[in-house]
Structure 1
Amino acid sequence: MKSIRSDFKSGRNQQIYNEYVSSDTSFNRLARKYNISPQRVQFIVNDLKKKGLGIKLTLSSLKKDREEYKNAAIELREAGKLEISLEMFSKVIDWDEKNHNIRGLVDVMGHKRIAFSLMADAEVDNKKKLELLKQAEEASRKAIESAEKKGIKDLAGSIAIQKVHLVGTIIKRVSLIGADKCTRDLLEALKLVEDALKDLPGSKSHKSWALLGKTKILHLLGRKEESLDTLSEAQKNLLLGYDEEMRNKDQGRMKMRVWATGILLAYAEFCKIEDMPLLAEIYAQAVANQPDPDKVLVARKKSAKEILGSLQFFRSKSSS
C-alpha cells in the first residue's frame, strides 16, 4: 500500500513534469519553486518520460487521439521543448506506420524536420548545426519521396507542404555557409517553393507561409525588389485568409500568430541586411514584445531578440 508521502511525491513529480512540458521554464526555475536540486528535476522529467506517464498515444489509439497528440507535440515544439516534441513525433510516426497512414506520416515527418531545424538554431557549434540541418533536410526529402512513391493524387497537397519545409532547411543551411557558395541550392529551393505554391492546401493565410520562404530565397539571390513584392504578397494572403483560419479556433489562432510574426521577422531581417536599422528594430520589437500566453512564439521571439542584439552590437561598434 502506498504511503501518503509516496502519493504526494508522485503527484508532485507529475506536476513538475507537466509544468516543464507545457511552459517556457527551466530545470533551475522548477528546482527553486519545489525546493529541490536542478539535477533532481531533470531526473524526474526523464523518469516520467521513460515510464510513459507523459505519453498518451498507443499504436491502437483512435485517429482523433493521434491528431490531438500531434497537435500537442507541435505546441511543445513551438514552446521550445524540442527533445520532448521529437519523442512525441516519433510516437506519431510509429502510429502512422502501424496504421498505414501515409498522409499522416508525410505530415509528421515535416514537423519533425522543424524540430531538428530549431535545434540547429540553438546550436552554437557550426559543425553540429550543419549536422542537425542535414537531419532536418533528410526528414523532408524522405517525406517527399515516401509520398511520391505512393503515386496518390490527393497527396499533392502533402507533398507541397513538405517542399516548403525543405525550402526552409535549405535557406538555413545556405545562410550558414554563404549564399555566394550555394547558388545551385537556392535555385533548387526557388523551384521547390514555386512548385509547392501550385498545390499548397488550406487557406490563403497558409500560402503566406510558403511565400515567406520565396521572399528569403529571392533576397539571398540578390533579387531585392522581387523579394519585397513577394513579402507584400505574403502579407496580403495572411489577411485574406484570416476568417477561414479563425474558424479553426485554437489551432487557427496559433497558426495566425506564428505566420504573422514570421512576416514581421522577414521585414526585420530584410531591413537589417539592407542597412535600415530603425525599421529593423521596429519590426523585431513588435515580435519580441508580442504577448504569448500560450508559449507558441518562443522561437519567433528568440529570432527577434537575436536581430535586436545584432543591431545593438553594430551600434556599439560604430560609436566606438
Structure 2
Amino acid sequence: MNPFHYSKPDSVQDAVHLAGPASRFIAGGTNLLDLMKENVTRPEHLIDITGLPLREVSETARGGLMIGALVSNADLAWHPLIEQRYPLLSQAILAGASPQLRNMASTGGNLLQRTRCYYFYDASVPCNKREPGSGCPARDGLNRIHAIFGASAQCVATHPSDMCVALAALEAVVHVQGRGGARSIEFADFHRLPGEAPERDNQLADDELITAIELPAAGFADCSHYLKIRDRASYAFALVSVAAALKVVGPIIREARLVLGGVAHKPWRDKAVESWLTGKAPSRETFTAAADTLLQNAEPLEHNAFKVKLARRAIVRALSDAAQGGQPDE
C-alpha cells in the first residue's frame, strides 16, 4: 500500500473542497481498502466522510424516502419503512455480502463498488479499466462472470452490486454535492456502459460526493421480488440477478419493472419489455415471452453463454414470485 494523506472534514462543503483527481472519499471502506491493498487504486489523499451528517432516513414531501449516503447497508435493509414500503430493496441488500460487511458498508459507497473482474484485480496483467489502452484479456480469456449486454471492445466487466439492481427498478434518484453546487442524477443515468472509456464507472465529477439517495413513493410493496443466482449460497456475487416489480389490478399488469444484475457494466433495464408487459395477464406464458424478448439481443462470450439460459429462467421465476406477492413459488 502506498503512502497517502488523510483528512476528516466536518462538513460536506469542506469535504468536496478537499477532493480532486488523486483523492478518494472513504466511509466503510469495504471495497476501497481491498483495491488499495491490491495496488489497483493508489489514492494520494483519503477523505474520511464518516463524521458528516448523512445518516438519516426521512420521508419526503412527495411521499418517498430520502436516505443519507452514510446509512449502513444493514440499517437500511432492516429499517421499518424500507421493509414495509420497499421490500425489494431490503431483499436485494440482504442478498449481498455478509452481515459484517453490511454493518460497515454505506449506502453511497454501495453505488461506487468497482467490478470484481479477476483481470481488473490482478495488477500484473493488462486491463483497460485499470490502465486505459492496455487491453482487455477477459475478451479472449476466462470470461465466465462477464457481461452479456452493453459491453464494448474495451471492456466486458459487470457491475457487482445487488442493491443497485433494486434501486434501478425503483427509479431512485442520486443526490450529489460538488464545489459547483448540488445536483440530482436519475439512477438510470448514474452508472455508465464501458464504451471507449471503461475506466469511468459513473457520471460523478472528481469533486462530487454522494449525499443521499431518494426513493419515489411507489415501492411496489405488494408485488415485488429480488432473485439472485450465484455459485454458492452466501457471500458470492451474482452470476445473474433479477429485480422484478409489478402493479397488478384485477387480472391485468398495470405497471412493470424488470432489471437484471450480473450481466452488464450497470444494472440492465429494458423499458420496451416493461411496456410490453403492461396490459398483459400475469402468467408464466407472459413472463416467458418477456424473458425471450429481453434476451434476444444478448451477446455472450466464449465461457458465459450459460448466462442467457440462466437469465431466462430467473426472469420467469422472479416475475412469477412478484405476481404472487413476492413469495417464492415452491
Report the TM-score when normalising by structure 2: 0.27
Q: Which has the higher contact order (CA 8 A, sep 6+)?
A: 2
Give 1 or 2 for the bigger CA radius of gyration.
Answer: 1
Which structure has more strand as a fraction of its residues? Answer: 2
Higher helix content, 1 or 2: 1
Q: TM-score, normalised by structure 1?
A: 0.27
